[in-house]
Structure 1
Amino acid sequence: MSLTGDHVALLGVDGMTVSAATSGAAELAWSSDEASARLDDEQFTFGEGPVIDALETGAPVLCSALEVTARWPGFTAAALTKDVHAVFAFPVMLGAISIGALMCHRRAAGSMDKAAVTAALALADSLTPALLTDPDDTTEEVWSQQLHRAEVHQAAGFVSVYLDVSLIEALSRLRAYALSQERPIVEVARDVVARRLRLPGDSHRS
C-alpha cells in the first residue's frame, strides 16, 4: 500500500502519519510531510498523545479541539505551537492486537465528518499487511521512513554505555534533556551520536 498526498486530501486533513507498534514505543513509519513527522516526534518525546492512546486502547481517538483538552498536557502545548488544533488517531489492528496507528491532524479545530471517519478507519484497516512487512525486506520499499528515529535508539545506546544505565533509563534521559531544551529529540540524539553533546552526568564523553 502506497500512501500519498491524495489520502490526506481525501480525509480533509492537513497531514498524516503512520506509526508501527514496537516493544518500547510507537515508531514512525511514514509521514505526509516534515511537519507531521515533527508532530509525531513530540508524542515520542513526551510519551503521550493520540497515537499512544489508540495503540493502548485499540479504539479511535478523536480530539476536535486541543485547546480544550487536558488529556495530553505536554503534547498539546507542543502541538499548539505548531499550529495544530485537532488530532485524530485510528488503530491498525491484527485481530484484537494493535500493531500500529494512523494519525491525522488539522490546523483548524473541528470534528471529522462521518464520511471522513469511515474513510480513515478503512485506510487504517488497509495498512495491516504493510505494517506486518519485515523492515529488512528490500524487495519493496513499503515505508519511506523506516529509520526515522534510528539515531534516537543509537544515542540511547551510547548514553547507556557511558552512564552505565539501562536503555530505558538512557532514553528517559534523552527525553528529559530534549524537553528541558525545547528541542526535537531527533536533533538531540543526532548531537549525541556526533559527540557534539554531553548529557548531564555523562563525564566520560569527550
Structure 2
Amino acid sequence: MRLTDDHIALLGVDGMTVSATANRTAELAWSSDEASARLDDEQFTFGEGPVIDAIDTGAPVLCSSLDVTGRWPGFTAAALKRDVHAVFAFPVMLGAISIGALMCHRRAAGSMDKAAVTTALALADSLTPALLTNPDDSEAEVWSQQLHRAEIHQAAGFISVYLDVSLVEALSRLRAHALSQERPIVEVARDVVARRLKLPRDLHHS
C-alpha cells in the first residue's frame, strides 16, 4: 500500500512518515515530503520522540501541543524550530509485536478528533504487509526510502574503525557531533563518508 496526499488530507495533518523497526532502531521507510523526513531524523538524532515511544509501548502516542509537553525535550525543541506543534504516532503491529509506526504531524496545535484517530489506527494496521515486504522482491511494492539512513550507518562504520570503538559508540559519537554543531545527522554522516570530516580521537561522549 502507498500513502498519498488524500490520506494526509483525510487525517487533517500536514505530513506523515512510516518507520520500520530494524536492528533495534526505527528506520524511516517512507515520508510524505522532505520536511517530514527531516523531522524523523530529529528523533533518530536525539533518540527520543513519538515514533520511538509508539514502537516501544505498542500504543498510540497523541501529543496535541509540543509547546507544553516535557516528554521529549530535545526532539520537541527541534520540532518547534521546524514549526511543528502537534505529533501523533500509531504503532504498526504484527500480533503483539511492534514492527513500525505511522507518524502524523501538524503545524497547528490541537487534538486529533476521534474519527481521525480511528482512521489512523486502521491505516497503521493496513501497513503491516508493506513493512513485511522483502525489499529484494522485484515483484513487490517497496518503500521509496528503504535506504534513507544508509549513509548514517556507513559513517558509523567509518568512525568505528577510525576511533576503534563499537558501532553503538560510533553512532553515539556521530549523534553527539550533529547535536553540538546543530546540523542534521544525515549531513554530518555524508561529510564523514566523503572524508570531509573526521571526529577527533579524544572526543569524550557523556
State the TM-score bracket (shorter-chain normalisation).
over 0.9
* Structure 2 partner of 1:125: 125
- Return closer, same or farther for 1:39/1:164 CA change in 2, 3 Å cut-off: same
Unaligned 5+ segments in structure 2 are none
Q: How many residues align?
A: 203
* Structure 2 partner of 1:107: 107
CA distance in 2, matches of 1:169, 1:158: 12
1:76-91 matched pairs, under 5 angstroms = 76-91=76-91
Same amino acid, percent of matched pairs? 87
| Cα drift, residue 22 of structure 1 | 1.4
Report if aligned partners of 2:133, 2:140 keep a CA contact under 8 Å in 1: no
Report if aligned partners of 1:159, 1:202 keep a CA contact under 8 Å in 2: no
Name the amino acid aligned to 1:75: F
CA distance in 1, matches of 2:53, 2:70: 14
Are 1:135 and 2:124 matched, yes or no? no
Name the amino acid aligned to 2:108: A
Name the amino acid aligned to 1:184: P
User: TM-score, normalization: structure 1?
Assistant: 0.96
CA distance in 2, matches of 1:54, 1:63: 12
* Structure 2 partner of 1:69: 69
Unaligned 5+ segments in structure 1 are none
Report if aligned partners of 2:46, 2:74 keep a CA contact under 8 Å in 1: yes
CA distance in 2, matches of 1:202, 1:129: 46
Are 1:191 and 2:186 matched, yes or no? no
CA distance in 2, matches of 1:136, 1:153: 19
Q: CA RMSD in A?
A: 1.2
* Structure 2 partner of 1:171: 171
CA distance in 2, matches of 1:201, 1:33: 37
* Structure 2 partner of 1:58: 58
Are 1:19 and 2:15 matched, yes or no? no
| Cα drift, residue 202 of structure 1 | 7.8
Runs of 4+ in 1 over 6 A off after TM superposition: none
CA distance in 1, matches of 2:20, 2:202: 31
SS at match of 2:67: helix
Report if aligned partners of 1:2, 1:142 keep a CA contact under 8 Å in 2: no
Name the amino acid aligned to 1:61: V
Name the amino acid aligned to 1:81: K
CA distance in 2, matches of 1:124, 1:76: 23
Name the amino acid aligned to 1:102: L
SS at match of 1:133: coil
CA distance in 2, matches of 1:6, 1:200: 47
User: TM-score, normalization: structure 2?
Assistant: 0.96
